Amino acid sequence: MSGEAAHHLGRVLRAEVGQIYELSDGQRVRLGRVERVGRDRVEFALLEEIPAYRPAVEVTLLLAIVKFDAMEWALEKATELGVRRIVPLAAARSGEAGRAVGEDFAGGVAAVPAGECAGVGCGGEAGGRVCWLR
């Protein structure tokens, strides 16, 4: 693994040699053991394939925009739970911080937590636009 995803895993989540992760290519899920952690690269030893699931229903979450940290947490948890599509909504109480988060969201914030979903075909698809509610 390289690039931004490797940086996030190695530096933010502090992956360590020997830890086991579920890895998916969107079709299959395998276990992988961390062999090396570099600045922008994490190397795995692939282990056995594990059963993957496809959610019985596709869930779309309409999420009011909140401050960045809370929004990031909500995106991460929604993705972990298998939400297929997230549509950000600017509510009356979202304020200017909410509008800024909405602009970031439309630019791809949801792509980061998408890697945290073990199911095949599930997880973070940004809505691509921000819906402003009056």
For residue 71, being part of any structural domain is answered with yes
Domain count, the chain: 2
pLDDT at 17: 94
For residue 55, being part of any structural domain is answered with no
Q: Are residues 101 and 69 in the same domain?
A: yes
Mean pLDDT by 10 residues, the chain (134 residues): 88 90 84 91 93 81 84 86 85 68 52 43 41 38
Q: Would you list the DSSP string of 12-56?
A: IS---TT-EEEEE-SS-EEEEEEEEE-SSBEEEEEEEEE-----S
pLDDT at 105: 55
Q: Are residues 40 and 94 in the same domain?
A: no
Contacts by 48-52, CB closer than 8 A, 24 or more apart: 50/22, 52/24, 52/28, 52/118, 52/119, 52/120
Q: How many Cβ atoms from other residues are within 10 Å of residue 66's Cβ?
A: 19
d(CA 109, CA 46): 28
pLDDT at 32: 92
Q: Are residues 65 and 107 in the same domain?
A: yes
* CATH code, 37: 2.40.240.20
pLDDT at 24: 83
Q: Are residues 44 and 77 in the same domain?
A: no
pLDDT at 47: 94
pLDDT at 130: 40
pTM of the model: 0.51
- Its domain, for residue 39, covers 4-50
